[in-house]
């Protein structure tokens, strides 16, 4: 199942024109899996209860088909895929949550997600001026159980270095996934190497 969310209430007006800004996740074996941004070179793939991704407004579910993969095999699969989707590689135009959902749907069912879900990103690839800078990352929270936070950043890769953009005023407006943020809603998938 593909679960689709509105990133903004403006979608109520723009969806009638064939446009919208959406988040999506893939529901498999009773959990939903998505991809979000953070500043660390570790998995940006997370799981939540279906249709409850924090920070977004649930819109609809789209059936994609069935899989014959047992839950334990799926867990191994999603942990391997998590190595391909680090939070610091998220980009609203070229590698966003909808790209992730499309990739997972294709690998599991041989089907793609509906085109309208990621239409704005495809148009943005043609003209990046369509989207404001503030929409280039998603806003979700993360459980602290994934990659324990350390002061020197060794185990968690959650170092305290500042990015080159950290002085930019717009940077404060961006809410990234944070390995040290506490939330009871989102849990990250620990990646395994292939």
Q: Which residues are catalytic?
A: 23, 97
Q: Are 186 and 142 in contact (CB under 8 A)?
A: yes
E strand map for 52-117: 57-62
How does DSSP classify residue 86? B
Q: Which of 63, 70, 78, 59 is nearest to 29 (CA)?
A: 70
> How far apart are alpha carbons 106 and 174 in whole angstroms?
30
d(CA 113, CA 2): 7
Asked whether the CA dihedral 73, 78, 83, 84 is positive or negative, the reply is positive
CB 88 within 8 A of CB 39: yes
């Amino acid at each position: 199942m593909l679960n689709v969310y509105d990133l903004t209430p403006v979608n109520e007006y723009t969806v009638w024109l064939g446009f919208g800004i959406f988040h999506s996740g893939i529901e498999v074996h009773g959990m939903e899996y998505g991809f979000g941004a953070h500043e660390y070179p570790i998995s940006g793939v997370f799981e939540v209860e279906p249709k409850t991704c924090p920070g977004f407004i649930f819109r609809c579910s789209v059936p994609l088909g069935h899989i014959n993969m047992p839950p334990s095999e799926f867990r191994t699969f999603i942990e391997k895929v998590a190595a391909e989707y680090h939070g610091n590689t998220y980009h609203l135009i070229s590698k966003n949550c909808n790209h992730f959902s499309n990739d997972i749907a294709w690998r599991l069912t041989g089907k793609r997600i509906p085109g309208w879900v990621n239409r704005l990103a495809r148009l943005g690839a043609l003209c990046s001026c369509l989207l404001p800078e503030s929409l280039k990352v998603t806003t979700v929270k993360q459980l602290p159980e994934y990659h324990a936070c350390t002061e020197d950043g060794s185990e968690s890769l959650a170092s305290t270095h500042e990015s080159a953009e950290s002085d930019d005023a717009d940077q404060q407006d961006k809410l990234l996934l944070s390995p040290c943020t506490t939330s009871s809603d989102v849990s990250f998938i620990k990646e395994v190497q292939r």
